[in-house]
Amino acid sequence: MTTAKRDMRRYLPFLLAALTMIGPFSIDAIFPGFPDIGRHFSVGEVALQQLLSVYLLSYAVMSLFHGAISDAYGRKPVIVVAMAVYTLATLGAALATSFGMLLACRVLQGVSGGAGIVVGRAVVRDTMQGEEAQRMMSKVMMIFGVAPAIAPIVGAWLLGIDGWRGIFWALSGFTVLLTLATARFLDESHPPSRRSVFRPRPLLRSYLSILRDLPFWPLAIAASINFSGLFLYIASAPHLIRDLLHLDANGFPWLFVPVVAGMVIGAFVSGRVAGRVSAIRTVGWGYVLMLSSCAISLALAWLLPVPRVPWSTLPLAFYGCGVQLAFPTITILMLDRFPDQRGAVSSVQTFGSLLFTAFVAGVLSPVLSVNMRLLAVGSLGLCVAGLSGWVWYVAMERRGVTRARAAAASRVAGQIEADEPM
């Protein structure tokens, strides 16, 4: 029995990483197929952008429920059912006969696709503590980081085989295998004795208790907005690659490879320093790298008359590294605030993050992707906003420690005074 458990645990980082890869593949793999889809259904760029927006919005809304449902019924059933639904939605997208049908399938993909990352975080925290949890989260994010680079490359390759439909056929095949692997190798980490009841009122009370927790807000802001500074470039990829860098469908790796290389390195370093370096220092290193990336990108945007590879995209490696250094630690701190509601906490954070990501994709990206200077300024602004959240949290925690020490000293002084003979 012990050996079986140990073998299951060995597969956990790969299984969770594969589940979290659904999101990047759902977004990035279809980018090379945008022109093909537009020609097939006779729709323009605004309509094509809806393929991203409706996915993100439905993903965000349903993320509020994935964690709570898993708190009530267990982690494994939620993931397995969600992956099965995602597979059916992807098959529907491959068979779509109209643009409306394709959009509807994208909504269904969003509804089911978030279960892996939302519930997966809760699985990590259910089964591990302290630095071990940080290492596991870093492993997951390191493997997950490969997805944004692979997705557009695979998407461009599949275009030559079966056009844009081939992208969805391949994605459905991947999720069939993933559903079977989850059913076979994922252990249930949330036993019945710890489960809550899935009812509207208790769920609302749970979310309200999380939202009333003041330290949760700066952590959620930092976790959500940090990645948005990088996602601004990812969401702008079709316009950035074709119109600003003047590359074809095979040019997406120029953007995604530096991003992913940085993310993998950052996740690796985060795992190595877990338990050796304080949370404040680890996250601080992340922000140094993110701000450095923004500064270099801004300088290059002004110095280069015409954007060109690799210089215009290479600094994003530093941003990716910084995000992955900071994110696992911030996530663990956030989940630890509510040990019995980790699924709900992950849901609330993911919901807020995805709403903001949808705003970046639907509003900021179209406005700022006009040129590299605006993209660089926008990324810097988002990075500073995330840093403000982290600084707010650190200041709040230091004030709390100071008050706790003062209260302890007061109690000790009172006890000494009481013990003194009259």
Between 3.30.565.10, 2.60.40.10, 1.20.1250.20, 3.30.530.20, what CATH number should domain 2-190+199-419 receive?
1.20.1250.20
Residue identified by tokens 């650190």 is 394
Cβ-contact 30, 163 below 8 angstroms:
no
- The confidence band for 412, taking pLDDT boundaries of 50, 70 and 90, is very low
296-315: b (≥16 Cβ within 10 Å) or e: bbbebbeeeeebebeebbbb
- Give pLDDT tens digits for 354-387: 788 878 877 888 889 888 999 999 999 999 999 9
Cβ neighbours of 349 (radius 10 Å): 25
What DSSP state is assigned to residue 361?
Answer: I
Give phi and psi for 340, each to the nearest 5. Answer: -95, 0
Question: Where residue 92 falls among pLDDT bands split at 50, 70, 90?
Answer: very high
Q: What is the mean pLDDT of the chain?
A: 82
- pLDDT digits 0-9 by tens, 193-233: 777 777 777 778 888 888 889 989 999 999 888 888 988 99
Q: Which two tokens stand for residue 133?
A: 């949890």
The answer to whether the beta carbons of residues 312 and 256 sit under 8 Å apart is no
- What integer pLDDT is reported at residue 413 of this predicted model? 45
What token pair was written down for 166?
């081939």
Higher pLDDT, 37 or 159: 37
CA 19/CA 44 separation, integer angstroms? 32
| Residue 31 CB partners (closer than 8 Å, separation 6+) | 152, 155, 237, 238, 252
Q: What are phi and psi of 159, to 5 degrees?
A: -60, -35
For residue 324, give Cα distances in angstroms to 60, 88, 116, 265, 379: 21, 32, 18, 8, 16
pLDDT at 141: 66
Which residue from 334, 235, 242, 208 is spatially nearest to 283, judged by alpha carbons?
Answer: 334
HEC string for 108-125:
HHHHHHCHHHHHHHHHHH
Q: Are 319 and 294 in contact (CB under 8 A)?
A: yes
**CA atoms of 78 and 67, how far apart (whole Å):** 9
d(CA 67, CA 301): 41
For residue 166, the one-letter residue type is G
**Is the C-alpha dihedral spanning 212, 215, 220, 222 positive or negative?**
positive
155 CB-side CA count, 13 A = 30
Residues 344/338, Cβ–Cβ less than 8 Å: yes
Looking at residue 292, its amino acid is S
Model confidence over 60-75: pLDDT tens digits?
Answer: 888 888 877 888 888 8
